[in-house]
Amino acid sequence: MFKILSTASALPKCRKTNDDLSTFLDTSDEWISQRTGIRERAVCTDETLTDLLTQAADQALERAGITAQELDLILCATIRGDYITPSQACVIQKEIGASCPAMDISAACTGFIYALDVAAGYFARKKVKKVLVLAGDCMTRMMDWSDRSTCVLFGDGAGAVVLGEGENLMAIQLTANGNVDVLNIPHVGGDSPFDKLPKNQSYLSMNGKEVYKFAVSSMYRDVQIVCDQAGVKVEDVDWIVPHQANLRIIEAAAHKLKVSGEKCLTGIENLGNTSAASIPIVLDRANTEGKFKAGDLLVLTAFGAGLTTGACVLRW
């Protein structure tokens, strides 16, 4: 259906360590790092999500050796773009000078894999030859910064891949299980004089224990399912690229799968949870560092609000 032609990523310039957060939160580097594996994160100050995504998009196009006008489709996975409307994908289309259809994918932290599945459908119908898949969020702008249980977990960033025709997608699996209670961010409200609903702050709310249990079990299940679909054994996979929500979740899932920790690519230590951008950012880091070689088997696996999950097997 497709193959990955290039990867790219972009982060805000400002970085904040756990010690920085402890100056205004009742927390410490030890408290955060022991529970999550996170030590620092990049945070947006004067950057917009459009800035980050445009940087990643331009870099991905340059590395793929194509122009924006050659794109047949732009997909952007994001929780919240810079505008309610138009879509973030349309904003990026204008910024990079493309003229193809563009739309957003809303599947929270699983959004990048959902977008890959949407792209696969377009390739299968022979509707596209070049697709730009973006993922990004400014999560730190959606936090209650007095809540140490959530605000310390997240960072900001964007990732991108350019897809071309090929047969490197071997299997893909998506799930959804509607659940507002475990993880949600209320929407911003207007000022209708007729509106009788309560006005909630647009901050993230999360039940960490439930997310942990859901994440470990779903990653274990999904990785096994896509490996079975692809006709490969989990032990034969060269690299697992998991969603970067919590290092302890990744370690627990790897243990259940009997996968060496060295096969699990992580960047959460200095990125935090960058939502749907976490997989493409880590993918880009590993790619630019030369970790992947032609023919390597990769499994991507994610979970997020929804509750959603996704996994796929790719041959590099």
Q: Are 154 and 274 in contact (CB under 8 A)?
A: yes
**How far from chain centre, in Å, is Cα 287?**
16
State the DSSP H helix or E strand holding residue 309, giving kind and residue range, or none if neither: strand 306-315
User: Which residue is associated with the tokens 């969603």?
Assistant: 243
> Which of the following is catalytic: 44, 76, 90, 109?
109
- For residues 39 and 198, the answer to whether their CB atoms sit within 8 Å is no
Phi, then psi, of 8 in degrees rounded to 5: -165, 165
According to DSSP, the residues that pair with 309 across neighbouring strands are: 175, 303
**Catalytic residue check, 109:** yes
Q: How far is CA 27 from CA 33, 34, 226, 287, in A?
A: 11, 12, 39, 35
Active-site residue, 184 included? no
Given the residues 18, 273, 287, 312, the one annotated as active site: 273
Pairing of strands 73-77, 102-105: parallel
CA distance linking residue 11 with residue 238, whole number of Å: 27
Quick check: is 100 catalytic? no
- Active-site residue list: 109, 243, 273
